[in-house]
């Protein structure tokens, strides 16, 4: 089998990239250094070293591979999906048009992703998340963002603050600070972000405080606020002992801008067991809320919360359903058994 880029597995890999990023620049491959005994480590290294220009394309560090990319060149970073890729400091993706693809088969939802960007305990106050995106038109596919950091400032797994970013089949999970009300799995502050078949949070991690899964806060994101986001077939998953927990918390006026939509999304809080608690509200928004709508279509379902939102005037959170009221639309109910 040929390992160069013109035939065999090398050509197949390039075809895979082309199917996801039709116009791409340089390709870089990242493998965990602990996986050197696996055959695919050598195979991917052989493909990368076959570069006709002698460019270094094979890395054992995601941050080193990112440093090698060129902004606006549509460079692609392929990330091996066997062992987790540990980051010792937050990766700030400030370049434009950089694409990250996890090589784990793709198409998954949930938390069982192979291509994982993980962060343990670090020392810098700037390590607020595993990844912060501030660049334009970047993309992430088949990736898991996973933080177990316990540093005071490290309260999130992902901060989305770029423009027109695509996240497809990704998992975002903050494993620690389950009792910290200011923590969240993801900070939403991007402009025109697309989220496709992504999952935020997990029904296996018990939050003991009013800790949202997603927080909309432009000061945390360092942006103008979340605007024109589109969430398609995404899951927001919760397990909690606090009725004050929420799926989404929009913190203050103008943290959300214009219109963001949620289509076919599931908001599920696991409250069916004795250690689980029903949320009071699924979505909470600031009392004063100018310049934005959060729109949830009729295929969105809320489970394990008494009311969808605290926005009783319906001037910021818009719900489409059989009974389009601010508090009860789209609440799932127990089916009636027909004997």
Provide the terminal-to-terminal Cα distance of the chain, rounded to the nearest Å: 60
CA angle 162, 165, 171 (to 5 degrees): 105
For 23-64, the pLDDT digits (tens) are 778 889 898 876 555 656 555 655 655 566 667 688 889 999
Alpha-helix runs per DSSP H in the chain: 8-20, 39-49, 62-67, 218-221
For 164-221, the pLDDT digits (tens) are 999 999 999 999 999 999 999 999 999 999 999 999 999 999 999 999 999 999 888 8
- pLDDT reading at 11 higher than 50: yes
The mean pLDDT of 319-331, rounded to a whole number, is 55
The mean pLDDT of 231-235, rounded to a whole number, is 96
The mean pLDDT of 228-241, rounded to a whole number, is 95
**How are strands ordered across the β-sheet holding 158-160?**
91-93, 131-133, 158-160, 186-188, 214-216, 248-250, 279-284, 305-309
For 270-324, the pLDDT digits (tens) are 987 788 899 999 998 876 655 577 888 878 888 999 888 887 665 678 777 654 4
pTM of the model: 0.88
Mean pLDDT of all residues belonging to the chain: 83
The pLDDT assigned to 116 comes to 92
Q: Where do the domains of the chain lie?
A: 77-319
The pLDDT assigned to 234 comes to 97
Classify domain 77-319 at the CATH class level.
mainly beta
């Amino acid at each position: 089998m040929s390992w160069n880029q013109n035939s065999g597995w090398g050509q197949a890999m390039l075809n895979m990239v082309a199917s996801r990023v039709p116009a791409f620049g340089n390709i870089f491959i990242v493998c965990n250094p602990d996986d050197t005994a696996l055959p695919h480590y050598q195979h991917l290294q052989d493909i990368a070293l076959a570069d006709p220009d002698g460019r270094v394309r094979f890395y054992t560090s995601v941050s080193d591979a990112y440093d090698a990319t060129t902004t606006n060149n549509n460079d692609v970073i392929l990330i091996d999906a066997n062992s987790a890729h540990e980051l010792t400091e937050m990766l700030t993706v400030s370049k434009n048009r950089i694409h990250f693809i996890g090589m784990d088969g793709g198409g998954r939802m949930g938390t069982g992703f192979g291509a994982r960007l993980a962060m343990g305990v670090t020392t810098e106050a700037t390590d607020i998340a595993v990844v912060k995106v501030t660049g334009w038109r970047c993309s992430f596919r088949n990736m898991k963002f996973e933080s177990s950091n316990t540093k005071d400032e490290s309260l999130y797994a992902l901060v989305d603050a770029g423009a027109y970013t695509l996240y497809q089949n990704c998992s975002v999970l903050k494993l620690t600070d389950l009792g910290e009300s200011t923590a969240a799995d993801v900070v939403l502050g991007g402009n025109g972000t697309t989220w496709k078949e992504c999952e935020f949070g997990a029904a296996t991690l018990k939050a003991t405080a009013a800790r949202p899964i997603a927080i909309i806060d432009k000061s945390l994101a360092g942006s103008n606020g979340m605007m024109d986001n589109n969430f398609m077939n995404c899951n927001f998953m919760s397990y909690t002992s606090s009725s004050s927990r929420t799926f989404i918390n929009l913190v203050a006026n103008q943290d959300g801008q214009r219109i963001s939509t949620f289509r076919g999304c599931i908001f599920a809080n696991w409250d069916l067991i004795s250690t689980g608690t029903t949320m009071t509200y699924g979505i909470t928004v600031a009392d004063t809320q100018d310049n934005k709508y959060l729109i949830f279509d009729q295929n969105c379902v809320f489970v394990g919360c008494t009311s969808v939102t605290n926005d009783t005037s319906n001037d910021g959170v818009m719900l489409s359903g059989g009974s389009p009221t601010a508090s009860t639309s789209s609440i799932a109910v127990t089916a009636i058994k027909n004997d």
